[in-house]
Structure 1
Amino acid sequence: MGKLIRGIAQDTARISFSRHALGQMRARKITLSMALDVLRKGKIELEPEVDMKTGHTCCRMERYTAGKAVAVVVACEDEHAPDCIVVTAFVVRS
């Protein structure tokens, strides 16, 4: 799943951001560039899960970027999805 997301993230037109994600990113001072960096170069630290409500597979990708450990939760239709949506993003506390 990580390889799929990293590939999709190479083309920004294939990534959508939910209103919730944009609001949370603004509040947490996470830029679009930081989120895209996480999607392009990050790793999935937790096993992807299927969202029972939508049926989409949700993944949490993490990466240290711009001085912060950032996690981005992204949803894809399936393992052959042409695009995906960022659900939320946050700074990981250790």
Structure 2
Amino acid sequence: MKEITLDRLPKRHWGIVTDVKGSGARRGRLLDLGILPQTPICLVKTAPFGDPIQITLRGYTLTLRRSEARTIIVSPQMIPQKETVSKQKNHRAKI
């Protein structure tokens, strides 16, 4: 299947990370967050004006700028995984 950037992945669909482009601190930050080649990743939703986007990977949810998502190359999977995304819970600290 054709590789695309993460920001082009359809909502609630999974892809497999194939590469993280760029260099320097931005690329290092993405790698430190666990966005590594061969990692399954899902675009959960986008903000009303398209930026930022919410993704899920490795059992946690993360928000990225669309410009950061454009540096992440994924191989889309054919079947949407709605159940997996909808069952995840948001864990927030109570103050």
Shared fold by TM > 0.5?
no
Q: Which has the higher contact order (CA 8 A, sep 6+)?
A: 2
TM-score normalised to the size of structure 2? 0.39
